């Protein structure tokens, strides 16, 4: 969602694609790449970008966001087994985009973001069993912002970076028991609209925007040591051959998701909208290009994994907003017939 909504989360400027940036068109080598994108269940409400999404069990919850005409404070539940969306109790805060969301202990947490004029620091908790919101949580102590990232490790939630007039780099840990926040070690460089995934109880922060430039770093946060480790760069900067094709990994306002101990990076933009999809192998600290995203190019989308199946949905391209959803099978052969 660039989350300067969700997205995850977003600039409100209409972006004009520049089609000469490497990696921003469908790869001419797709026949040699692995992975297949197929059209899936459409989101059943208004097309939007920069929404929030969190998962609890085998269900996903999508809400807030922005379209060409308005911002939203709705919430929808997706049941993969049933294959449809159900409207849940409305988010009690102001309609917003570029907010954050995470889930801990069967409860979803939503906060921060922007209404297009002001940023927010308020936080809310959603109980999907009771279908109720708790509006009495303490505000996020890092201050009002948009385009932050959020993640869950164990029984804690985390909020990092974002934008409040300038890019940010602070990190905060949330403990639901006691509704308490504690500041942790900041990430090394300021950024907004970054992408994050969690593997083996560590958070991997990918790229992001620093003064409008996509950072070429991958940083890992380990809560057990409260420390950050930098992995190999996302561009071709070494004398080795592994990164010779690293021309289109760095980006912002993208999505990531994890399946079978591999992470996948898709959508987003850097100069223009990115179609290239990259798979990250934690064991080797290397990236491999996979079949390009086969929907319309977009930023500010959201992603989810349910039953070890990965999906990308919503988002925007300039003034065009989307409600469609695509599923990615990383081991299947690419098939044009199932994404129309």
pLDDT tens-digit series, residues 298-312: 999 999 999 999 999
Residues with Cβ within 8 Å of residue 212, at least 6 apart in sequence: none
Residue 25, domain member (yes or no)? no
With residue 171 as reference, give the H or E element that holds it: strand 167-175
Domain that holds residue 280: 47-329
The answer to the question of residue 36 being in a domain is: no
Percentage of the residues of the chain whose pLDDT score is greater than 90: 89
Task: From residue 192, give the alpha-carbon distance in Å to each of 121, 161, 207, 316.
Answer: 16, 6, 9, 18
The stretch 14-24 carries a mean pLDDT of 36
Tell whether 57 is covered by a domain.
yes
CA pair distance 120, 106, nearest whole angstrom: 24
Is the model's pLDDT at 12 over the cut of 60? no
Tokens coding 23:
């990696």
- Mean pLDDT for 267-279 is 97
* C-alpha separations of 118 from 31, 98, 215 in Å: 46, 12, 26
Tens digits of per-residue pLDDT, 125-180? 999 999 999 999 999 999 999 999 999 999 999 999 999 999 999 999 999 999 99
How big is the chain by its Cα radius of gyration, in Å? 18
Q: Give pLDDT, residue 4.
A: 40
Structure token digits, residue 33? 């790449």
Domain tally for the chain? 1
The tokens describing 54, both together, are 């969190």
**Conformational region of residue 213, where left means phi above 0, alpha means psi within -120 to 50, and beta covers everything else:** beta
For position 100, what pLDDT does the model report?
Answer: 98
Q: Is residue 90 assigned to a domain?
A: yes
The CATH number covering residue 244 comes to: 2.120.10.80
Per-residue pLDDT at 1 exceeds 90: no
Integer angstrom CA distances of residue 180 from 138, 176, 329: 8, 7, 39
pLDDT at 13 over 50: no
Q: Is 1 contained in some domain?
A: no
In 3-state terms the chain splits into helix, strand, coil percentages (rounded to 5) of 0, 45, 55
pLDDT-derived band at 27, boundaries 50, 70, 90: very low
Asked if 55 and 305 touch (Cβ cutoff 8 Å), the reply is: yes
Check if the beta carbon of residue 97 is closer than 8 Å to that of residue 64. yes
Residue 338 lies in a domain: no
pLDDT value at residue 10: 36
Q: Of 310 and 14, which is predicted with more confidence?
A: 310
pLDDT confidence of residue 22: 40
Predicted confidence (pLDDT) at residue 241 exceeds the cutoff of 90: yes
- The DSSP code sequence of 123-147 is EEEEETTTTEEE--PPPPTT-SBBS
pLDDT of amino acid 9: 42
- Average pLDDT, integer, range 21-49: 77
Mean pLDDT across 286-300? 98
Q: Is residue 272 part of a domain?
A: yes
> Does pLDDT of 5 surpass 90?
no
Predicted pLDDT of residue 31: 58
Residue 258 in any domain: the answer is yes
Mean pLDDT of 8-34: 45
pLDDT of residue 50: 98
């Amino acid at each position: 969602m660039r989350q300067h909504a969700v997205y995850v989360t977003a600039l409100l400027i209409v972006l004009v694609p520049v089609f000469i940036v490497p990696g921003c068109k469908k790869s001419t080598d797709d026949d040699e790449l692995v992975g297949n994108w197929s059209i899936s269940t459409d989101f059943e409400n208004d097309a939007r970008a920069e929404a929030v999404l969190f998962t609890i069990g085998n269900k996903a919850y999508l809400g807030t966001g922005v379209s060409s005409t308005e911002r939203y404070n709705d919430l929808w539940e997706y049941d993969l087994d049933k294959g449809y969306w159900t409207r849940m109790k409305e988010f009690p805060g102001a309609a917003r985009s570029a907010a954050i969301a995470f889930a801990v202990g069967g409860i979803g947490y939503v906060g921060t973001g922007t209404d297009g004029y002001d940023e927010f620091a308020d936080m809310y908790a959603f109980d999907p069993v009771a279908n109720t919101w708790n509006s009495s949580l303490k505000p996020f102590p890092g201050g009002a912002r948009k385009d932050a990232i959020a993640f869950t490790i164990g029984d804690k939630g985390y909020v990092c970076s974002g934008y409040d007039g300038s890019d940010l780099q602070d990190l905060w840990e949330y403990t639901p028991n006691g509704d308490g926040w504690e500041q942790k070690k900041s990430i090394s460089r300021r950024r907004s609209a970054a992408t994050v995934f969690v593997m083996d109880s560590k958070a991997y922060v990918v790229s992001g925007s620093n003064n409008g430039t996509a950072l070429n770093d991958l940083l890992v946060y380990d809560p057990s040591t409260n420390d950050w480790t930098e992995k190999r760069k996302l561009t071709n900067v070494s004398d080795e051959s592994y990164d010779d094709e690293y021309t289109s990994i760095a980006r912002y306002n993208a999505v990531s998701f994890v399946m079978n101990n591999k992470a996948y990076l898709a959508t987003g933009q850097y100069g223009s909208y990115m179609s290239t999809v990259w798979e990250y192998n934690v064991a080797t600290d290397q990236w491999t290009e996979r079949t390009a995203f086969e929907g319309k190019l977009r930023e500010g989308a959201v992603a989810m994994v349910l039953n070890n199946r990965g999906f990308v949905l919503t988002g925007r391209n300039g003034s065009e907003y989307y409600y469609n959803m695509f599923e990615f099978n990383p081991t299947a052969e690419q098939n044009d017939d199932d994404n129309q």
